[in-house]
Chain A
């Protein structure tokens, strides 16, 4: 492959990579802000499940004593189950966090995330608008920014997040780190062994 062909290929890969970086960045932001619109549905299903289970178990236990649970008893058990499920849901799913209500270190993390994404979008736009400029410059500086950001991700204190998002933090961080490795492969033409 000639150098010109290789350069063209790497330019194409870089542009494509900016889209993947954006997806990985959105994943981190949505997770810290607990933005998952599907969670509402999951919460409702869990509430119905827990409430129904409590009705089933409650009527079975009462039945052991030879007492039939009437309509009101079932409703009371269901309501208790519903209240218990709301407490569990709050711990597991939490609710969407407003940017103004998060901790300062979280604000810094999200700000750095956005800055890095914007910087690479700008580089991509320059590649598209000025095809003859010297490409793939400032690698060390860009790599250092990624290193610093990955450190922020690794030291992030997720205690303010609901359980679902605490668990997901490592998953979205791994996706982001994968894109940092891809950046090396494309921008510095480094290959992983």
Chain B
């Protein structure tokens, strides 16, 4: 997830769609890496099975990204109050 933090820090002034694309691309790469480690080819999975894995990873990445963005100072004004 460290890699995702770095990417998000670099795009903190990006549009919402750029942010979504970065998280989606990172999640896709993570799923492909997991599949490789498990000895599974993407072609062996149905579209639904792959999408389920991808959706789960995107959800995890987004949860992590929210925390990372807060920590990176995107919501700095709130930090001042805290």
Contact = CB atoms under 8 A, between A and B. Distances in A.
Contacts, number: 60
Contacts of A47: 78, 81-82
Interface residues of A, number: 22
Helix, strand, loop or mixed for chain B's interface? helix
A15 interface: yes
B67 A38 contact: yes
Contacts of A18: 38
Interface residues of B, number: 25
Identify whether the interface residues of A are mostly helix, strand, loop, or mixed: helix
A19 B53 contact: yes
Interface in B58-73: 60, 62-64, 66-71
A82 interface: yes
Interface string A8-49: 000010011011000100000000000011111101110110
Contacts of B39: 15, 124-125, 127-128
Given A44-B75, A44-B82, A48-B78, A124 B38 contact: yes
Nearest to B82: A44
Interface of B: 34-35, 38-40, 44-45, 49, 53, 56, 60, 62-64, 66-71, 75, 78-79, 81-82
